[in-house]
Amino acid sequence: MCHIFPLLLFTLLIGLVLSCGYIPPKPGEVQHAFIESGHSIHKREADHNLRIKYFYDEESLKRITIDKFRIINNTVLPEAINYWQQALFVKPFMAPIKLNRKCLNDRTLYSEFIHNGYQHFHPYCVDGCDEHTLCGEVVIPENHLEECRVCEMNGENCQTVPTNYSEVGIRDADFVFYISTMQTDRCNKGSTVAYAVHCQQETTFNRPIAGHANICPDSISTKPQDLDTLISTFKHEILHALGFSVSLYAFYRDFDGNTINSLNKHMGPYFISNGTRISQKILRRVTRDNWKVHKGEVAHKVYLITTPNVIKEVRDHFNCSKLEGAELENQGEDGTYLTHWEKRLFENEAMTGTHTQNPIFSRITLALMEDTGWYRANYSLAQPLEWGKNLGCDFAMKSCKEWIDLKRSQKQSIHPFCDKVKKDPLQTECTDNRDSVALCNLREYDEMLDKEFQNFDYIPNVRNETLGYYGGSVALADYCPYIQEFTWKLNDEIVRGSKCSFSENNPLPEKNFALEQYGPNSKCLNHNSEMWEERNCFEIRQWQHWGSGCYNYRCSDGLVHIIINNHTFTCFEENAEINIHLYYSNWLHKGTILCPKCSEFCENCESFNAETLNQMKSKFKMEKHNLKCSSILSSPSLPLTVIVIIFMFYINLFIWI
Ligand SMILES: *[C@@H]1O[C@H](CO)[C@@H](O)[C@H](O)[C@H]1NC(C)=O
Ligand SMILES: *[C@@H]1O[C@H](CO)[C@@H](O)[C@H](O)[C@H]1NC(C)=O
Ligand SMILES: *[C@@H]1O[C@H](CO)[C@@H](O)[C@H](O)[C@H]1NC(C)=O
Ligand SMILES: *[C@@H]1O[C@H](CO)[C@@H](O)[C@H](O)[C@H]1NC(C)=O
Ligand SMILES: *[C@@H]1O[C@H](CO)[C@@H](O)[C@H](O)[C@H]1NC(C)=O
Ligand SMILES: *[C@@H]1O[C@H](CO)[C@@H](O)[C@H](O)[C@H]1NC(C)=O
Ligand SMILES: *[C@@H]1O[C@H](CO)[C@@H](O)[C@H](O)[C@H]1NC(C)=O
Ligand SMILES: [Zn+2]
C-alpha cells in the first residue's frame, strides 16, 4: 500500500539581492563651499580621524515606528558612521562647516580670492538666495548656512545679507550628514534599503563635506538576523557620499593635494557623471578582445580605476602583476554602472552593486579612499576578501567561461564558480568557508542571454542547444554562476535564512528532518548522496531536499566533534561518513553527514598513528539510538505509509515511491 501525502513547506528564494539605490547628483545639485582650514601648510596632513556629524530630518522621522527608529538611531547609524570615522583620516577643519546657499534661478557670479596659497571663490547670487537650500532631498537648517551673498548682474553692489543667528555652522565636524527616513519612489524601486549622496564640496581640495542619506522605512527589518546587512548597506551608502562615486572621480587629488584631472575653477561645466573626460590616471577604459563566450569570442569593454594604491592592492589580491587596475561595474543603471566594483571579480566586497552575502570592506576599497587624495586609511579595519584571492590573471582578466574551461581541462575545481543547475531534487551545498548552507545560483532564463553573457559550452545534464539560456542569477556578475546563501519563504514571507551562525534560522522541530542546529557555534556540513528519512512505527517520511546542513561542533583532543541533538560524533578523518540514527520530535531520523577536514573547524588538530587512532575511536564511541519498534520497522512485511516531503518550489514533481 502506498500513499502519498505531500506536505508543502517552503518555497525557496535564491539570491536575495538587495540593490544599491545610488544615483549620482546632477549638475546644480552640488554646491561648493569655502571652509577656512586654519592651516597654512600646502600639503595635506590627513592625520585626524574623520569626524562625521549627523542631523535628522525631523519631519520624516516622526512617521516611522519607534522600533525602527531605535534600530537606526541606536545601532545602524552609530556603527556605520563610527566605522568610517575609525577607518579614515583627514586634514581636520578648524572652523565650523558653513554650507553654501543655493541661488535663485541658479544665477551665480564668483568672486575669487587666495587663501593660504590656494585659490578659492565665493558665489554671489544675482537674483537673491533661494528660500531653501536642499541637500539631496532634505532642507538644510538655516543655521548651517553661510550668509546670503548677492550682487548685481554686472558684478556691482555686492553685499552679504546678515543672518539672524548668533552662531552659524557645524563645529568639530569634517562631514555633515542629513538623515531622512522617507518612503520615496526610489525606495519602492527594487529592494532599496537606503541611499546617500554628497551635496556640497569644499573649495580647497574639493572634498565632499555634506551629504544626504535616506533610509527607506518599509525596507527596515527589525529582525536581529538582518541587522548586519542593514549596517553594511548603510556603510556602503555612506561611502558613495564620501568619495566612491563617478561624479567625484574627476576631483580626486594626488598625494600632494594637486589635481589630477584638469578642472574648471568653479567646478561647473566639468561636472562629470558618466566617466567621460576623466583622466586615465584615475579611470581607464580597456577592451578585452578575446573574451571567450559560448561558441566564440567577443570584445568585452571594461572600466578600471587606475590610481596607485588601488593598482597595488588589486594586483596583490589577485596575484596578477599585469592587471591595469580595479574593474568597475559595467552593467546596471545610472548609479550602479561605474560607481561599484565589478561583481564578477569582487563578489562579496561590500562596494559591489548588489548585496548577496557576507559583505566585507576590503583593502581595495580603503585604497580607493586614499587615492581620492582626501583621506588616509587605517588598513587594519579592512576585512579579508577571499573571493578571487591569488587566483591570478586568468581569473582577473578573462571571462568566467574561459576560467571554467581551463579548470575543467586541468581536472580542478571550477571554484569560485559552479555549474550545478538549481533543479529537482534540490541539493544544497556549503559555502567555501562553511558558514552557510548554499546553492549554486545557475538557472535557466526564459530568453536567451546576450552573447557576451553566455558562459558555457557544457553544463552537466543540459542539452547543447539550450546552453545560451543558462546563467547565474546575479546579472551584475556577468551571469557567472556561483555558490550563494539563500532564504526560505513560506506564503511570500521570508521564514529563515541559511547562515549557520544565526539561531533564528533554526527550522521548527517538526520540520527539522536533518537534525540541524543553527547558532553561534555552528558550521555547514555536507550530507552524502542519500535522502534523509524519518520513521515512526507506522510511517516513513522522505525529504526531497537535502545535501547539507548546519551543525554544532566542538574541538578537543586534536579532533573535531559534531554535536547532533546532544549526541557527540567524532570525526577521525575527512569525508568519513557519520551515520545518524536518532530519535527526535517523535520520529527516528536517518541520514548521513560527512566529516569536514579537522583544520577547517579547529585550530589544534592532530594526526594520530593507527594505534592511537584506535584508542581514540574506542574513547569516542558512536552512540546508537533506535526506536522501540525498530524490530517492527526492519520487518519488510509491514505495510508502511511513505510520505514524500517536497517543497513548493517543486510542486509539479511529486514522486511516488
Ligand atoms: C539616539 O542615539 C543617541 C546616541 O547615539 C542618544 O543620545 C539618543 O538619546 C537617542 N535618541 C533616542 C530618542 O533614543
Ligand atoms: C529674522 O528674524 C526676524 C524676527 O524674528 C524675522 O522676521 C525675519 O524673517 C528673520 N530673517 C531671516 C532671514 O530669517
Ligand atoms: C557622457 O555624457 C556626455 C555629455 O553629457 C555625452 O556626450 C557622452 O556621450 C556620454 N558618454 C557616455 C559613455 O554615455
Ligand atoms: C587603526 O585601527 C586599529 C584597530 O582598530 C587600532 O588599533 C589602531 O590604533 C588604528 N591606527 C591608528 C593610527 O589610529
Ligand atoms: C603568484 O603567482 C606566481 C606565478 O604567477 C606563483 O609562482 C605564486 O606562487 C603565486 N603566489 C600565490 C601566493 O599564490
Ligand atoms: C555538445 O557539445 C559538446 C562540447 O562542445 C560535444 O562534445 C557534444 O558532442 C555535443 N553534443 C551534442 C548532442 O551535440
Ligand atoms: C540537550 O540537552 C539540554 C540540557 O540537558 C536540554 O535542555 C535540551 O533540550 C537537549 N536538546 C535536545 C535536542 O535534546
Ligand atoms: Zn552603491
pLDDT, average across residues 77-106: 93
Percentage with pLDDT > 70 across the chain: 86
Q: Determine which residue's CA is closest to atom 4 belonging to ligand 7.
A: 566
Residue 644 has pLDDT above 80, yes or no: no
Are 187 and 247 in the same domain? yes
When pLDDT is cut at 50, 70 and 90, the band that residue 468 belongs to is very high
pLDDT in tens, 595-607: 999 999 999 898 8
Distance 383 CA to ligand 5 centre (A): 22
Distance 163 CA to ligand 2 centre (A): 8
Which residues pair with residue 201 across a beta bridge? 32, 208
Long-range interactions of 275-283: CB distance < 8 A, separation 24+: 275/246, 275/249, 275/303, 275/338, 277/250, 278/249, 278/250, 279/250, 280/306, 281/306, 281/307, 282/249, 282/250, 282/252, 282/306, 282/307, 283/249, 283/328, 283/338
**pLDDT at site 153:** 84
Residue 445 has pLDDT above 60, yes or no: yes
pLDDT in tens, 36-82: 765 544 445 778 999 999 999 999 998 899 999 999 999 999 999 99
Top pLDDT among 298 and 620 is at 298
Are 409 and 461 in the same domain? yes
Residue 626 has pLDDT above 70, yes or no: no
Q: Is the overall model pTM greater than 0.95, yes or no?
A: no
Top pLDDT among 324 and 151 is at 324
Quote the CA–CA distance of 299 and 304 in Å, as a whole number: 16
pLDDT, average across residues 435-448: 92
pLDDT, average across residues 275-284: 82
Give the count of alpha carbons within 13 A of 432, CB side only. 16
> Could you count the other beta carbons within 10 Å of the beta carbon of residue 394?
13
When pLDDT is cut at 50, 70 and 90, the band that residue 537 belongs to is confident
| Full residue range of the structural domain in which residue 190 is found | 18-251
Distance 276 CA to ligand 3 centre (A): 6
SS (H, E, C) 298-312: EEEEEEEECCHHHHH
Q: Determine which residue's CA is closest to atom 3 belonging to ligand 4.
A: 380
Residue 594 has pLDDT above 90, yes or no: yes
Q: Determine which residue's CA is closest to atom 14 belonging to ligand 3.
A: 274
CA dihedral 59, 64, 69, 72 (to 10 degrees): -90
Alpha-carbon dihedral sign for residues 339, 306, 402, 384: negative
Residue 652 within any structural domain of the chain = no
Residue 649 within any structural domain of the chain = no
Cell matching residue 359: 559583505
pLDDT, average across residues 270-281: 66
Residue in the block written with cell 548682474: 153
Pocket of ligand 1 (CB under 6 A): 73-74, 78
Alpha-carbon dihedral sign for residues 398, 401, 406, 412: positive
When pLDDT is cut at 50, 70 and 90, the band that residue 492 belongs to is low
Residue 79 within any structural domain of the chain = yes
Top pLDDT among 264 and 379 is at 379
Closest CA to 176 of 244, 238, 103, 87: 238
Q: Determine which residue's CA is closest to atom 10 belonging to ligand 7.
A: 566
Residue 13 within any structural domain of the chain = no
What 3-state class would DSSP assign to 381?
A: helix
Are 538 and 622 in the same domain? yes
Distance 319 CA to ligand 5 centre (A): 6
Give the count of alpha carbons within 13 A of 574, CB side only. 9
pLDDT, average across residues 262-270: 58
**pLDDT at site 258:** 86
Which residues pair with residue 210 across a beta bridge? 176, 200
pLDDT in tens, 144-188: 999 999 988 887 888 888 878 888 899 999 999 999 999 998 888
**pLDDT at site 357:** 82
Residues in the annotated binding site for Zn(2+): 236, 240, 340
**pLDDT at site 17:** 54
> Do 443 and 418 form a contact (C-beta atoms < 8 A)?
no
pLDDT in tens, 200-253: 999 888 899 999 999 999 888 888 878 888 999 999 999 999 999 988 998 899
Residue 562 has pLDDT above 90, yes or no: yes
Q: Determine which residue's CA is closest to atom 4 belonging to ligand 1.
A: 74
> Do 301 and 331 form a contact (C-beta atoms < 8 A)?
no
> For residue 457, which atom of ligand 6 is closest to its CA?
5
Distance 444 CA to ligand 8 centre (A): 27
**pLDDT at site 637:** 47
When pLDDT is cut at 50, 70 and 90, the band that residue 491 belongs to is low
Q: Determine which residue's CA is closest to atom 9 belonging to ligand 3.
A: 276
Are 219 and 81 in the same domain? yes
Q: Which ligand is nearest to the CA of 329?
A: 8
> For residue 565, which atom of ligand 7 is closest to its CA?
13
Q: Single out the residue in 204, 222, 251 at which a domain terminates.
A: 251
- Chain centroid offset of residue 314 CA: 18
**pLDDT at site 208:** 95
Residue in the block written with cell 585659490: 119
Are 373 and 433 in the same domain? yes
Lowest mean pLDDT among 258-267, 448-457, 552-561: 258-267
Any idea what DSSP says for residue 567? E
Quote the CA–CA distance of 435 and 4 in Å, as a whole number: 35
**pLDDT at site 5:** 36
Which of 294, 458, 467 has the most ligand 6 atoms within 8 A of CB, as the residue to mutate? Answer: 458
The CATH number given to whatever domain includes residue 130 is: 3.10.170.20
SS (H, E, C) 212-241: EEEECHHHCCCCHHHHHHHHHHHHHHHHHH
Are 204 and 270 in the same domain? no
pLDDT in tens, 411-422: 988 989 999 887
pLDDT, average across residues 548-557: 94
Are 29 and 132 in the same domain? yes
Quote the CA–CA distance of 385 and 470 in Å, as a whole number: 28
Number of domains in the chain: 3
Top pLDDT among 609 and 275 is at 609
Residue 313 within any structural domain of the chain = yes
Single-letter amino acid, residue 534: E
Percentage with pLDDT > 90 across the chain: 51
Residue 657 within any structural domain of the chain = no
The CATH number given to whatever domain includes residue 420 is: 3.90.132.10
Task: Name the residues annotated as catalytic.
Answer: 237
Lowest mean pLDDT among 453-457, 480-484, 512-516, 626-630: 626-630
**pLDDT at site 39:** 52
**pLDDT at site 632:** 44
Cell matching residue 627: 526506536
For the Cβ of 579 lying below 6 angstroms from any atom of ligand 5, the answer is no
For the Cβ of 635 lying below 6 angstroms from any atom of ligand 5, the answer is no
When pLDDT is cut at 50, 70 and 90, the band that residue 123 belongs to is confident
Give the count of alpha carbons within 13 A of 598, CB side only. 17
Quote the CA–CA distance of 22 and 20 in Å, as a whole number: 6
Cell matching residue 87: 577607518
Are 427 and 503 in the same domain? no
Residue 99 within any structural domain of the chain = yes
Helices (H) and strands (E) in the chain, counts: 13, 39
For the Cβ of 390 lying below 6 angstroms from any atom of ligand 5, the answer is yes
> Do 230 and 80 form a contact (C-beta atoms < 8 A)?
no
For the Cβ of 381 lying below 6 angstroms from any atom of ligand 4, the answer is yes
When pLDDT is cut at 50, 70 and 90, the band that residue 426 belongs to is confident
Pocket of ligand 6 (CB under 6 A): 457-458, 464
Q: Single out the residue in 251, 280, 297 at which a domain terminates.
A: 251
What 3-state class would DSSP assign to 320?
A: coil
- What DSSP line would sit under 583-643, residue for residue? EETTEEEEEEEEPPPHHHH-SS-----HHHHHHHHHHTPPP----TTHHHHH-TTS--EEE
**pLDDT at site 274:** 52
Lowest mean pLDDT among 75-84, 150-159, 294-303, 569-578: 150-159
Are 516 and 373 in the same domain? no
Are 169 and 43 in the same domain? yes
> Do 554 and 548 form a contact (C-beta atoms < 8 A)?
no
Are 339 and 418 in the same domain? yes
Which of 56, 74, 85, 181 has the most ligand 1 atoms within 8 A of CB, as the residue to mutate? Answer: 74
Highest mean pLDDT (candidates 274-288, 423-437, 439-453): 439-453
Distance 464 CA to ligand 6 centre (A): 6
Top pLDDT among 594 and 354 is at 594
168-185 in b/e form (b: 16+ CB < 10 A) is bbbeebbbbbbbbbbbee
Are 361 and 503 in the same domain? no
**pLDDT at site 407:** 95
For the Cβ of 276 lying below 6 angstroms from any atom of ligand 3, the answer is yes
Q: Which ligand is nearest to the CA of 392?
A: 5
When pLDDT is cut at 50, 70 and 90, the band that residue 18 belongs to is low
Distance 87 CA to ligand 4 centre (A): 8
Residue 5 within any structural domain of the chain = no
pLDDT, average across residues 465-487: 92
pLDDT in tens, 371-408: 999 999 999 999 999 999 999 999 999 999 999 999 99
Q: Which ligand is nearest to the CA of 168?
A: 2
The CATH number given to whatever domain includes residue 518 is: 2.30.34.10
SS (H, E, C) 334-371: CCCCCCCECHHHHCCECCECEECCCCECCHHHHHHHHH
Pocket of ligand 7 (CB under 6 A): 565-566
Residue in the block written with cell 533506535: 626
> Could you count the other beta carbons within 10 Å of the beta carbon of residue 119?
11
